[in-house]
Amino acid sequence: MEQTIVDVNDLSRMFASKRALDGVSFRATAGQVYGLVGANGAGKTTLLKHLLGLLRAATGSVRVFGLDPVRDPVGVLSRVGYLSEERELPEWMRIDELMAYTQAFHPTWDTSYARELLNTFALDPSKKIKELSKGMRAQAGLLVAVAHRPELLILDEPSSGLDAVVRRDILDAIVRTVADDGRTVIFSSHLLDEVERMSDHVTLMHNGRITLSGALDEVRRGYQRSRVRFVEHFDQPPSLDTALAMEGGGRTWSVVHSGSLEQFNHSVLALGGEVVESRDATLEEIFLARAGRSRQQVEAA
């Protein structure tokens, strides 16, 4: 049976009058990589902060390793590695001091792995944090987040500030190593290609809600992008069953749709059109289609 690492149930959170999380339920099991995707203000960071106990659940519950991170911060945080979005590290500290300080809190600290990462990132241990560039700061933060080999690695926008090489080669390798060791990674990102590349599971958030969640392959299989040609000229997008987003004009439209292709074909035929070609939608297309639909729903409400 899969071991549950994170179990979030019906979690809601308000910031003043803004609903940051609205009935979010999320489960993560051991050995998997979970990617959180969403627009700015979707609630990704808020959800991650609840997992760390930095925010307390207003309604609903959060359990990490079966513990409440607010009531038992030591029990949870000693098994978690965290890289914050702001890369908040003490400016005056040197990298070797940062490593020593973090090591003291984690008996599982792997000195040789830390040294290896230090070399991989080409970081000078005698440099102060304030002397580092944004990317180097991210690397230093990543180093201390993973060097104690945490059971759960939480990365908030890990690629922010990292160059393409570090992002593709090193970050991917670190995340895969953690997952292959049977440990869990949860990360948030704006970069859909990165989520597509690194995750086993994807969770799409919009306006504080989870609008889509599942194994990456299943999610991708559930959506297609089809090119449709009609006999009639349409000034406005025609109404098609299961269509999430449409672009184009006149007689030819590109449609991102969910459900079976057969059902969609029927819908197109009913309007006197035909499906010219169809393929699996990319994550970006799914994201844009879902986010756009949610936005329309909100506006309509």
Partner 1 sequence: MTLRSPTSAMLWGLWRVTRVEAALRLAVGVVLPLAALTLFAVFAPSETAEWDEDIKNIATLLLFLPHLVPWSSHARLNHFTRPIRTATMVGLPTAYLIAMSVAIYLVSAFLLKVTSGHPFSLLPAAAWIAALHLAFGPIGWWTRNMVVVMLGMLVVLFTWGSVAGSRLHSFPNDVDYPLTDYALIALFGLVCFSVAVFAAARARRGDAHSMSAWTPGSGLWEWAINLFRFPCPTSSATRAQIWLDLKANGFPVLMIGVVLAIVILLLSAIGNPIDAAFQDEIRARLSCSNSDCFWARAWPVFFTGLSLLIALSLARNAFGIRSRYGRTYVSAFETTQACGTTQLAALKVLVKSCCVLAAIIAIGVSVWISVPLLGDPVFIQMFNVPLSSRLPAISGAIAALTVYEQLSLVVLAIGGVVIWVAACAVIGALRVRHSRRVYIAASSPLLFGLALVLVGTAQGEGIVSPSVFFAMLAAARWIFLAALAAMVLTTVYVFWIGFAERVLTIRYASAAVAISAAFGAAWLTVLHMAGVQLAWMSAIAAVSILSPALLPPFFSVLAPWSLHRIRHL
Q: State the minimum distance, in angstroms, from the CB of residue 86 to partner 1.
A: 7
In the complex, least distance from residue 135 CB atom to partner 1, rounded to whole angstroms: 18
Is residue 101 part of the contact set for partner 1 (CB under 8 A)? yes
- CA–CA separation, 151 vs 167, rounded Å? 22
Percent of residues in the chain assigned helix, strand, coil, to nearest 5: 35, 35, 30
Tell me the Cα Rg of the chain.
Answer: 22
Q: Is residue 22 a contact partner of residue 207, using CB atoms and an 8 Å limit?
A: yes
Does 73 contact partner 1 by CB under 8 A? yes
Using CB under 8 A as the binding rule, whether residue 105 contacts partner 1 is answered as: yes
d(CA 284, CA 287): 5
Distance of CA 98 to the CA centre of its chain: 27
Q: How far is the CB of 262 from partner 1 (least distance, A)?
A: 50
**Size of the residue set binding partner 1 (CB under 8 A):** 30
Closest to partner 1 by CB, 142 vs 212, is 142
8 vs 216, which CB is nearer to partner 1? 8
Straight-line distance from the first to the last Cα atom of the chain, in angstroms, rounded to the nearest whole number: 42
Q: Does 91 bind partner 1 (CB under 8 A)?
A: yes
Show contacts with partner 1 in window 109-138 (CB under 8 A): 109
Using the rule CB under 8 A, which residue among 7, 72, 172, 284 binds partner 1? 72
Nearer to partner 1, 54 or 191 (CB): 54
What are 157's two structure tokens? Answer: 């926008």
CA atoms lying within 13 Å on the CB side of residue 286 = 29
Give the footprint of partner 1 on this chain (CB under 8 A). 52-56, 70-74, 77-78, 80, 82, 84, 86, 88-92, 97, 100-106, 109
